[in-house]
Structure 1
Amino acid sequence: MNPLTVLRDSLYFFQRNLSQIVTLCLPLVIVEAILQRIVDDAVGPDASAGFGLIVGLLVYPLYTAALILFLDARSRGESPRNRELLAQAVNLWPRFALLSAISTLLIVLGLSMFFIPGIFLTVVLAFSEYRLVLRGEAPLAAMKSSFNLSRGHFWRIFVCILAVLGPLMLLKEFSYSLFSKDDNTLLSLVLDSANSFLQLFVSVVLFRLFMLISDKSDQ
């Protein structure tokens, strides 16, 4: 379960299924960026970060749950339609939104406590979304299962997350250093949407890890 192998396999899958991932997730990612922009303009730059969290809870669970369902279906050789995946994602939204809210608050709190606890929680809770969507677990049960499943695999998960998010964060900062978000609303929406969409690759990588570790733990 070499991290490089996981990243390579995930990239291959992402490239082969890019067209459906785009049509499935990108429209909702764009909606999220638009809503975020509207909220930012309405409340101002000094508003609480809680407003951004609320926007994320409205849309993020929908496209992430749909993506996880798509990844699971494709891993079994199935080719589900986008509307079927989105319909299932809508049914999962209440539990997924609650899980996202709890996880985000814990991670933010952890990051405020000398940063390290936030990183730890990011890693050990990495599989909670997959447990909720694919195993039908309740939010707290999914978090507990993720914690147990990550035991003995902390650094493997950490390396995979860092290998994806590190370059994406640098790319985001570089793009915003070249273009001012405040000067061009359309460009701001494009950059925000592109960054959020590329971060979906993290979900692909973690799904691959989740399946490998789950299969191993079931043996």
Structure 2
Amino acid sequence: MNPISILRDAWYFYSRHIGALLPLCLPWIVFESLVQQQINQASGSPQIGPWGLAAGLVFYPIYTASLILYMSDRGEGRQRGMGELWNAALRLWPAFALLSALTSLLIVIGLSLLILPGIYVMIKLAFAEFLLIGNGLRPIDAMRESFRRTNGHFFLLLLTALAILMPVWLADGWVTQVSQESPLYAVLLNSISGFFQLLLTVAAYRIFILCPDEELPPA
């Protein structure tokens, strides 16, 4: 495996199924952007603060779990409707929200320590969501298992993630400036950005299903 083949496969799936992913995930992403924008306006800050992050934890588990369930169904030859996927995602919400909160906390702490530790934690926890949903692990167990399962695949995950996230990070400053001038336009841009970032979940899931489940030496 190499980042180019992973990105190619992920983009193929993403573009081929975009007609299903738009109604499945985009409404929740738009709700998330609207709530975060309202919180930012109320606080008088264009940056996403703690309450904005909390709002993200409400919606992120729903659309991300829906996407993972959708990909899992396609891999197993099953086909559930949008309502069934949402219901399944909502049942998973408590555990997924806890996992997202713990992951976000560790990444924020890592980013505060000269950025690199935060990126390291983000990559090492890349499989946690798939393990929680596909393997039924509890949040802490999914995080621990993700640290193990990513051994030997760290740089593949890192390069793939950077290829997808770099354009998003470069656009962040512009979106912040736009949010001060036109809040509705900022919601639109944040929604587009959030939907594009689903590609990272697709790419990470592709690596996850191609990685052998075996004990490997630490990365």
Identity %: 38
Distance across 2 between alignment mates of 1:46 and 1:105: 21
List alignment gaps of at least 5 residues for structure 2: none
Check the 8 A contact 2:40/2:49 in 1, yes or no: no
Structure 2 partner of 1:208: 206
Per the normalisation by structure 1, the TM-score is 0.93
Structure 1 partner of 2:182: 184
One-letter amino acid of the counterpart of residue 109, structure 1: I
- Per-residue Cα deviation, 1:97-146 (whole angstroms, up to 9, x for no partner): 00010110101001111211111101100100110011111000000010
Structure 1 partner of 2:122: 122
Structure 1 partner of 2:23: 23
Q: Structure 1 residue runs of 4+, over 6 Å off?
A: none
Distance across 2 between alignment mates of 1:212 and 1:121: 21
Check the 8 A contact 2:46/2:180 in 1, yes or no: no
Aligned residue for 1:180, secondary structure, equals helix
Q: How many residues align?
A: 215
Distance across 2 between alignment mates of 1:2 and 1:29: 30
Distance across 2 between alignment mates of 1:35 and 1:156: 34
One-letter amino acid of the counterpart of residue 188, structure 1: A
Query: Structure 1 residues 51, 137: CA separation in 2 closer, same or farther (over 3 Å shift)?
Result: same
Query: Structure 1 residues 46, 11: CA separation in 2 closer, same or farther (over 3 Å shift)?
Result: closer
Structure 2 partner of 1:90: 90
Per the normalisation by structure 2, the TM-score is 0.93
Structure 2 partner of 1:35: 35
Structure 2 partner of 1:142: 142
Aligned residue for 1:181, secondary structure, equals helix
Check the 8 A contact 2:6/2:206 in 1, yes or no: yes
